[in-house]
Structure 1
């Protein structure tokens, strides 16, 4: 199973991309839909919201009056956190139940509007961002949702910046054009990257490094893109947790003889047994273990421990996990 984070600014076309992914066979988990589900009439979630905010947030039919609730929490960080303390655990529990029910070979796409704003991008081995220029997004909101231009721009300004979303993106889907063009981009993403990535991850098989002349994400003039390296470091740090004494970028690694190079990360832990455990857990970051002669060759004399390499065919990375002697 491969889990993918999908996001994009308001009006960028994220919902269109999600629909196409579902048509292709992805299990799409819509965070907004789950948020509505856990606060439906008769749910414990709605009861908890009413207990916290009062009956004034209910509509005459007993359902949640979302505009009324929005007026209560808008601009009040404390009240917003109180709402999130109710809804976030419920949404997370429901999401995990849907993921647990998915087939073992599923590509699960978490459709999350505020993925970047939440600071949780490292929870997914791959983040896809649907991107479009601000003026295009504003025009869409005005045309399709009847919003005033000022309101559309205010809504966009309240979200992450384009630069922040692009820094979090492993894949940037350009949606400056029409819907057929976006669907074509999504089709290519599905067949050329997501399906092979899931297959490799499930099999514990690393993707081959790019051959000479193959295109990879990094610019040959700047071989290890800093944003790409930071995404890798964040994922490895999350997987290793407190077991890691340090997680550092040790430099670029040649990509199969190509002019491009790939970031290489060294994780220092107390002993080889911990290194093995961490290497297993790196599957959550899209990395799989190598064993035997292949691991010895790829480790390049880095010492005891285990080696993990990327299962993603379009952006394999190398992570060396090395056991070191305890110092205490």
Structure 2
């Protein structure tokens, strides 16, 4: 069974592509959703977060205090790295356990925005990068998140790995630029990955 990572910057359409693979019957692990779940339910991780950031990390009902954490880490690289260093190992272990339950599947997908920053790529056999040009990404994000300004979006993108670096490190690139049809690209890659031997790198 191949472990295939899927990544790309904000607004490129990673989740859309992941849903396409899921419709083809491919098991898909959503790193962001699982990270949020683990922060809420994994007691060891909760205690690590409280130890690092204080009890204000969680609300009185036990939910993640997202505004507090966002304020803490958005413009503080050291605090952001500290948060990621606590969460990512738990996500990595969770993914390994999850993937083990699909041993008879040709391949599984792990969707992760921080594939390289979190070292999640080291668990993968192959990496897919979803690409879209900057202007297309900004337009999509303004439509999806009307409360954000173009300056907000550019600030987020500036903190992410460059598309050039992602593309140079990827085994496969899917172009979601509005010019090339996406579904045929996904179908072709699905056929390729389904036929690939588990040892392929």
Q: Given that residues 3 and 108 in structure 1 are in contact (C-alpha distance below 8 angstroms), is that contact kept between their aligned partners in structure 2?
A: yes
Residue 109 of structure 2 is matched in structure 1 by 109
Structure 2: tracts of 5 or more residues without a match: none
Q: Looking at CA atoms only, which structure, 1 or 2, has the larger radius of gyration?
A: 1
Residue 194 of structure 1 is matched in structure 2 by 193
Shift, 1:50, TM fit: 1.8
1:86 & 1:177 partners in 2: Cα distance?
37
Tell me, what secondary structure is at the counterpart of 2:20? helix
Q: Given that residues 41 and 64 in structure 1 are in contact (C-alpha distance below 8 angstroms), is that contact kept between their aligned partners in structure 2?
A: no
Give 1 or 2: higher helix fraction. 2
Residue 295 of structure 1 is matched in structure 2 by none
Shift, 1:167, TM fit: 0.2
Report the CA distance shift for 1:139/1:49 in structure 2 as closer, same or farther (over 3 A): same
Aligned length: 200
1:5 & 1:42 partners in 2: Cα distance?
24
Shift, 1:40, TM fit: 1.1
Matches within 5 A, 1:128-277: 128-146=128-146, 147-177=148-178, 181-191=181-191, 193-197=192-196, 200-201=197-198
Shift, 1:41, TM fit: 4.9
Any runs of at least 4 consecutive aligned residues in structure 1 with deviations exceeding 6 A, and if so which? none
Q: Given that residues 59 and 65 in structure 1 are in contact (C-alpha distance below 8 angstroms), is that contact kept between their aligned partners in structure 2?
A: yes
Tell me, what secondary structure is at the counterpart of 1:64? coil
Report the CA distance shift for 1:162/1:84 in structure 2 as closer, same or farther (over 3 A): closer
1:119 & 1:88 partners in 2: Cα distance?
9
Tell me, what secondary structure is at the counterpart of 2:181? helix
2:121 & 2:169 partners in 1: Cα distance?
7
1:148 & 1:4 partners in 2: Cα distance?
33
Q: Which has the higher contact order (CA 8 A, sep 6+)?
A: 2
Tell me, what secondary structure is at the counterpart of 2:40? coil
Is 1:28 the counterpart of 2:28 in the alignment?
yes
The alignment's C-alpha RMSD in Å is 2.1
Q: Given that residues 129 and 165 in structure 1 are in contact (C-alpha distance below 8 angstroms), is that contact kept between their aligned partners in structure 2?
A: yes
Is 1:61 the counterpart of 2:66 in the alignment?
no
Which string of whole-angstrom CA distances, capped at 9 and with x for unpartnered residues, describes residues 196-243 of structure 1? Answer: 11xx33xxxxxxxxxxxxxxxxxxxxxxxxxxxxxxxxxxxxxxxxxx
Report the CA distance shift for 1:108/1:64 in structure 2 as closer, same or farther (over 3 A): same
2:176 & 2:83 partners in 1: Cα distance?
33
TM-score w.r.t. the length of structure 1 is 0.57
Q: Given that residues 46 and 64 in structure 1 are in contact (C-alpha distance below 8 angstroms), is that contact kept between their aligned partners in structure 2?
A: no
